[in-house]
Amino acid sequence: MKKKLLAVLVLMILFLAGCQKKPDVPVVLDHACKNTPLSEGCYIPSDDLEFVSPVKEEYLITEDFETERLGQLPRNWLLYRNEEYKTDGVKASVVSKDSNQYVELFSDGLKAPMYPQSAPNPTFIFSTKFNLDTSKKGVAYMDILIPSDKPTDSISFGVSTGAVNTIQAVINADLKVNIKVGGPFFYYSGTADGGDTHSTSYTLEKDTWYTFKFEWDKDLDFLAAYLEDEGTFLPLYSGIFHISNRVNALATGEILVPNVFKVTMPRNYKNSYAYIDNVIIERRP
């Protein structure tokens, strides 16, 4: 009996609900923006959100360190360290001599980023960024001096795409110049993408400033490195290299091009010094 009463009650409620006049309110699809909260009409744009331009702007580097504070890390650069590093285990500080400011690099060679198994990681990783993503080609310069009055060892510098080396010069402890093309700079992955090292006939001398130059052009798959000698750039290496190797292409097929200039010193358990100046990224005509 109770069930029957309940059923009648429910039917009456449904009937009455059906008889109610529906108000003329517009249908609001409250779920329309659920998966696309940033699409048109789903939010009120704020001026604060416009600080990131939808158009990526290219920017270059001209670092002569003349306006940097002495004894400080140059303001546009990052020096890698983690909690294992000693306080002064790595240093990159601006110094001045003969009315020129440049950067003293120091590495104790003891610790390295926590990357895979027995990989030859650098201790010292000093880097700055640029953007030539639209033109996808460029020219980089750096001056380097290896001192005679301080301990020195191997040092590398050049351009990378993120953590993936594009082209760099490697000055070994014997001051011989090599050019390394491709390969990661943090670690060797063991899958044959460790890059290729090309020896040159050049050996540097201590206490002398040298200017190195690197060029890249994604459309031509072209890479080159030079060493300046009295106003002439002597070729160290030039070749065809597919800049977008499998590591630095996006899944969408978009090609990433060099965007980091970096200097590294190895994990060699030795104190090592070097000096750099005039890090410049220019457009390639």
What is the contact surface with Ca ion in residues (CB under 5 A)? 64-65, 100-102, 277
**Closest chain position to Ca ion (CB):** 64
Nearer to Ca ion, 102 or 130 (CB): 102
Nearer to Ca ion, 102 or 185 (CB): 102
Nearer to Ca ion, 193 or 282 (CB): 282
Nearer to Ca ion, 65 or 216 (CB): 65
Give, for 127, the enclosing helix (H) or strand (E).
Answer: strand 122-129
Smallest gap from Cβ 101 to Ca ion, in A, equals 5
Smallest gap from Cβ 141 to Ca ion, in A, equals 12
In sequence order, which residues have a C-beta less than 8 Å from that of residue 92 and are 6 or more positions away?
A: 73, 74, 77, 79, 103, 104, 105, 106, 126
Smallest gap from Cβ 208 to Ca ion, in A, equals 16
> What size, in residues, is the chain?
285
* CA-closest candidate to residue 259, choices 102, 72, 95, 132: 132
- Let me know: does 55 contact 131? Beta carbons within 8 Å: no
Nearer to Ca ion, 100 or 199 (CB): 100
In sequence order, which residues have a C-beta less than 8 Å from that of residue 144 and are 6 or more positions away?
A: 155, 157, 171, 209, 210, 212, 274, 275, 276
Smallest gap from Cβ 103 to Ca ion, in A, equals 9
* CA-closest candidate to residue 127, choices 258, 267, 233, 268: 258
Nearer to Ca ion, 99 or 117 (CB): 99
Residue with tokens 């206490």: 207
CA separation for the pair 95, 18 (Å, rounded): 85
Alpha helices (runs of H) in the chain, residue ranges in sequence order: 2-19
Smallest gap from Cβ 77 to Ca ion, in A, equals 14
Widest distance between CA atoms in the chain: 110
Taking the CA atoms of the chain, what radius of gyration do you get in angstroms?
A: 29
Nearer to Ca ion, 39 or 100 (CB): 100
Smallest gap from Cβ 278 to Ca ion, in A, equals 6
Smallest gap from Cβ 275 to Ca ion, in A, equals 10
Residue 77 region by backbone torsions, left for phi larger than 0, else alpha for psi between -120 and 50, else beta: beta
Q: Is 16 in a helix, a strand, or coil?
A: helix
